[in-house]
Amino acid sequence: MNRIAPTALYQEVAERLRQRIFAHELPPGTWIDEQKLAEQYGISRTPLREALKVLASEGLVELKPRRGCYVTEISAQDIDDIYPLMALLEGRCASEAVKRAKRADIDDLKAVHEVLERSAVEGKIEAFFEANQEFHRKIQELAGNRWLLTVIQDLRKVLKLSRMHSLSIEGRLQQSLDEHRLIMAAILAGNAEQAEQAMHDHLLSGREALARMQDAPSAAKAA
Amino acid sequence: MNRIAPTALYQEVAERLRQRIFAHELPPGTWIDEQKLAEQYGISRTPLREALKVLASEGLVELKPRRGCYVTEISAQDIDDIYPLMALLEGRCASEAVKRAKRADIDDLKAVHEVLERSAVEGKIEAFFEANQEFHRKIQELAGNRWLLTVIQDLRKVLKLSRMHSLSIEGRLQQSLDEHRLIMAAILAGNAEQAEQAMHDHLLSGREALARMQDAPSAAKAA
DNA sequence: GCGCATAATACTGTATCCATAATTATAGAA
DNA sequence: TTCTATAATTATGGATACAGTATTATGCGC
């Protein structure tokens, strides 16, 4: 293979495995066969095992001594633990973002928000999903706190273990858009406290939509 | 060696390295010589390398491709980023702890707080330090949120890279005690909001003490 | 026929070996 | 004398080989 990136092999393998786990090609609970995977990727077990160590400390897999490696099974309790935490953290991001954002930053954010609006009108769910992620990511970056960013991203990875996505619920997309409007309005108004509250509620609202979905799991789809 | 624990070798090695890093026996910036360390521990490089991967994703070391492994150098910016985040998270812990604590839990906590009081009176800094950690840990456990706990512990590890400990500042111990009294009082009163605020302020106060220490680094000591 | 014990198989964990890339030292030229 | 280029040494990254343990299957005994 033509290696361009200076990244180590174990990192590439880790990333490929992450994608497969997120895509539920390797569903939670799956035993990871080192030999088979190494063969499949055309590499030895050494870098693969190193990759698994990394994924383990990210919480994506569990390494049971002498018993192998299994994709982490996330529980309803974990979801209940993580969402309020994310609400707290992303709320803080929104607050900090308002305090630190320059004019150009807000313009950028507004542009992303408008993509969101348009995608909603045109019913482009995939585009809405993308813009949604971009919106949150931009706010997190604007907060300018490297560690806050890291923590949120780590937790987001764990959430991805669940194939539940609230946007696939009927009506949730419109609700999400409404909430985004509130966040955007608070940011435009330069009201940090209001932005924090709106973002916080937005996350919890997503959690509630998820809960409703679990009761009536009609439209449970992977992203 | 007589292996009793079912833990893998790489885990033991990771833990030993963590301790050495926290103790600043391996100061930030140090290059980690894999061969020498493996020889020193009487093991091969393989489990050592796996341990380093784990430490890297904890942020304790940095793995530069083809350039080796170095103990992470934490910046003043990192400290400034992490402390407010810890304040937010531990504040939430205090709030949740108040909401969930049973009578017996509060009694336990009170006992630890009294050790704190006594250690302060008797000037036993080490004991104070221990009780302090125990106090915070207990509150974090009472919050009953596995992921909140994980995040806090991960960030705490990174903070340990710095040898700065605010308790070693003249007067900070008494100030810390005062703040703990406020927290304890709020918990005893069952006032979650007040406990959250007190814990939050307590953490930020620690950060400020640290800042003062950096200006006049007279008593900078490892724990 | 069922349960337990023993043996065989297979996978995890560790060590050794090899190749490649980076760094340093030395030599030559300006 | 200094700077550059090349060669040698050293360390990292990856592969392969080996040992130990866990699991499973088979056989024997009850």
In the block, residue with structure tokens 């930030």:
B28
Q: pLDDT per residue over A105-157, tens digit each?
A: 999 999 999 999 999 999 999 999 999 999 999 999 999 999 999 999 999 99
Q: Do the beta carbons of residue B156 and residue B149 sit within 8 Å?
A: no
Q: pLDDT per residue over A10-54, tens digit each?
A: 999 999 999 999 999 999 999 999 999 999 999 999 999 999 999
Chain A residues with beta carbon closer than 8 angstroms to that of B7: 65
Pairwise CA distance, residues A166 & A70, whole Å? 26
Nearest to A65 among B6, B50, B88 (CB): B6
Q: pLDDT per residue over B92-151, tens digit each?
A: 999 999 999 999 999 999 999 999 999 999 989 999 999 999 999 999 999 999 999 999
- Please tell me whether residue A7 adopts helix, strand or coil conformation: coil
Footprint of strand D on the protein (CB under 7 A): A 8-10, 42-47, 50, 66-67; B 6, 31-35, 45-46, 49, 63-69
pLDDT in the model for residue B222? 40
pTM: 0.92
Structure-token pair, residue A170:
């009927």
Assess B127–A contact: CB distance below 8 Å, yes or no: no
Pairwise CA distance, residues B114 & B155, whole Å? 27
| Nearest alpha carbon to residue B162 among B55, B27, B58 | B27
Kindly list the distances between the CA atom of residue A92 and the CA atoms of A85, A145, A197, B11, B186, in Å, as whole numbers in the listed order: 11, 10, 9, 35, 24
**Nearest nucleotide over every DNA/RNA strand to the B38 CA, judged by C1':** C15
CB-CB under 8 Å, B54 with A50? no
pLDDT band (50, 70, 90) for residue B213:
confident
CB-CB under 8 Å, A85 with B145? yes
What letters, b where the CB count within 10 A reaches 16 and e where it falls short, cover A35-45?
eebbeebebee
Neighbours of B135 (CB within 10 A): 18
Q: pLDDT per residue over B166-209, tens digit each?
A: 887 888 999 999 999 999 999 999 999 999 999 999 999 999 99
Pairwise CA distance, residues A90 & A85, whole Å? 9
pLDDT in the model for residue A2? 32
Kindly list the distances between the CA atom of residue B64 and the CA atoms of A75, A126, B118, B197, in Å, as whole numbers in the listed order: 35, 37, 47, 41
